[in-house]
Structure 1
Amino acid sequence: MRETAVITGAAGGIGAAVARRLAAEGVRCVLVDRKPELAEVAAEIGGEAVIGDLTDPALSERAASIAGDELSLLVLNAGMNSSDKDPATLDLDRYRAVVGVNQHAVVWGLRAALPVLRTRGGGSIVVTASLAALRATPQDPIYAMTKHAVIGLVRALSGSLAEENIQLNAVCPGLVDTPLTAGNRERFRAAGIAVLDADSVAAAIVRTLRSGESGTELVVRPDLPDELYRPAPLP
């Protein structure tokens, strides 16, 4: 049976790079994003495009249905940042959108894919988190909140899913040169801040998909080896 992957946030950046890597391995790829450029990436790799709003659980169900019973790999990568630093002046529409994409869409993806993975006897899931999931990030507290939630979900579910032969892991990159950070590219360069390229993070995601481990939190940073993050034990 041919492997099939569902990859969210695949119109560019990390998601598109993951799709190219998996397609090169012979994996059939179902790509999900709201941006119309998704169709070009899907055509390039011979994949299938599912365009729509990931905050709607029906889109994740549609992607899982297209993948069918060959679905074995899931990359929940879609992300959105926030421009609000002060909850007192929060833009509520933007807030709902950020939480919807970064947090709820991860749950919708799991909800749609897990029944298929259980029926086939296993699979592998990677969630793209962030260094913001592991430390204070005052530059974007709403984004940090959603990524902390994602790590909490991975920690809570990975053990029980491993008993069903389903790996659930997180990759936590530092700053990445993607459309999400494009507006700050020159500021990062001027400040001498090192930024990851999307393909480096995609390589880490694919390795993690294939690792055979569960509950991994892999930190990926510029100019440093990838490193497993282990939470400190409670005192």
Structure 2
Amino acid sequence: MTTSRILVTGGASGIGAAIAGHWANLGHDVTITDVNDDAGRALASSLGCSYERLDVRDEGAWREFAAEHDAFDVVFLNAGVSTGDLIFGNPDTSPFTSFDLAAYRRTLGVNVDGVVFGVAHLAPAMVARGSGDIVVTASMASLYPIPPDPIYGLSKHAVSGFVKSLAPALLERGVCLSAICPFFVDTPLVPKEQQAQIRETGFDILTVDRVVEAAQMAVAERQAGAHWVIFPGAPIARHPDPTLG
């Protein structure tokens, strides 16, 4: 088996940790980044992979990180946050009735800048080599409205537009850019009480294993600009988009 160099941002917990674990267990050379140093180092130690601190909001940190690494084979731009307790929370606390500028900046910084800066600084080496895959963890909120947390929805719609717009040009140079779009997942991003509220609406919560399966599919299928939808009780499928063929 050929050993690939894999990068996972936001890899200390949740979806990122599961993705890192999957590829590390297959024998690949995995690097995890996060800002939760204790969890990141502990996970990396248990998996036999590398950990580096990286605040994905910091363009300068991205520049330094890229300069210190050769081209990765697969990059999972997974780091993400919500604005807090707004998902299935009280609409009265939404950003448009009680605007929290710090939460707004943090959400767009991690969810949007973290993707744009990652592609901007890692794609050039992949393009120069003529191969590679970049998979962005988007969300069902990148495809559909999410009224309880419109700022999260804004950030994920922005990521979706970025992926669709840039993917064709990157593919011409050998690099496949795509996205995975899970429903609510059993991770720290969705606390247990909110998971219970979601289940009361008749929907189940995804396991991280299902999201890892979609990440595998994105890398294996190499469909530029594709958005792979992961919904409870349904097979993983590419979201239809006539503009991408």
TM over 0.5: yes
**Does residue 90 of structure 2 align to residue 99 of structure 1?**
no
Task: Tell me the secondary structure at the aligned position of residue 71 of structure 1.
Answer: coil
Number of paired residues?
Answer: 232
How far the C-alpha of 1:192 sits from its partner, in A, is: 4.3
Which residue is equivalent to 2:158? 149
Which residue is equivalent to 1:179? 188
The residue type equivalent to 2:52 in the other structure is V
Task: Tell me the secondary structure at the aligned position of residue 125 of structure 1.
Answer: strand
Partner Cα distance (1:70, 1:153) in 2:
21
Listed one character per residue, the Cα deviations across residues 186-222 of structure 1 (whole Å, up to 9, x for unaligned) are 3334554300011210121122122232111111011
Listed one character per residue, the Cα deviations across residues 139-179 of structure 1 (whole Å, up to 9, x for unaligned) are 11000000000000011011111100100001111010111
**Does residue 174 of structure 2 align to residue 161 of structure 1?**
no
How far the C-alpha of 1:119 sits from its partner, in A, is: 2.1
Which residue is equivalent to 2:18? 17
Which deviates the most, 189-198 or 166-175?
189-198
Which residue is equivalent to 2:74? 73
Which residue is equivalent to 1:116? 125
Which residue is equivalent to 1:198? 208
The residue type equivalent to 2:102 in the other structure is D
Q: Is the 8 A contact 1:3 1:70 kept in 2?
A: no
Partner Cα distance (1:150, 1:73) in 2:
18
Q: Is the 8 A contact 2:9 2:32 kept in 1?
A: yes
**Does residue 216 of structure 2 align to residue 215 of structure 1?**
no
Partner Cα distance (1:175, 1:118) in 2:
33
How far the C-alpha of 1:126 sits from its partner, in A, is: 0.4
Aligned-residue Cα RMSD (Å) equals: 1.8
Partner Cα distance (1:9, 1:110) in 2:
15
State the TM-score, normalized to the length of structure 1: 0.92
Counterparts of 1:78-93 in structure 2, within 5 Å, are: 78-82=79-83, 83=86, 85-93=94-102
Which deviates the most, 20-29 or 123-132?
20-29
Counterparts of 1:30-45 in structure 2, within 5 Å, are: 30-36=31-37, 37-45=39-47
Partner Cα distance (2:199, 2:226) in 1:
31
Partner Cα distance (1:216, 1:61) in 2:
27
Q: Is the 8 A contact 1:22 1:206 kept in 2?
A: no
Which residue is equivalent to 2:89? none
Partner Cα distance (2:97, 2:148) in 1:
15
Task: Tell me the secondary structure at the aligned position of residue 21 of structure 2.
Answer: helix
Among residues 41, 45, 49, which one is paired with 1:47 in the alignment? 49
Q: Which runs of 5+ in 1 are unaligned?
A: none
Q: Which runs of 5+ in 2 are unaligned?
A: 87-92
Q: CA 1:166/1:232 → structure 2, altered by over 3 Å: closer, same or farther? A: closer
Q: CA 1:216/1:202 → structure 2, altered by over 3 Å: closer, same or farther? A: same
How far the C-alpha of 1:2 sits from its partner, in A, is: 3.9
Partner Cα distance (1:193, 1:160) in 2:
37
State the TM-score, normalized to the length of structure 2: 0.88
Between the aligned residues of both structures, percent identity stands at: 33
Partner Cα distance (1:34, 1:8) in 2:
10
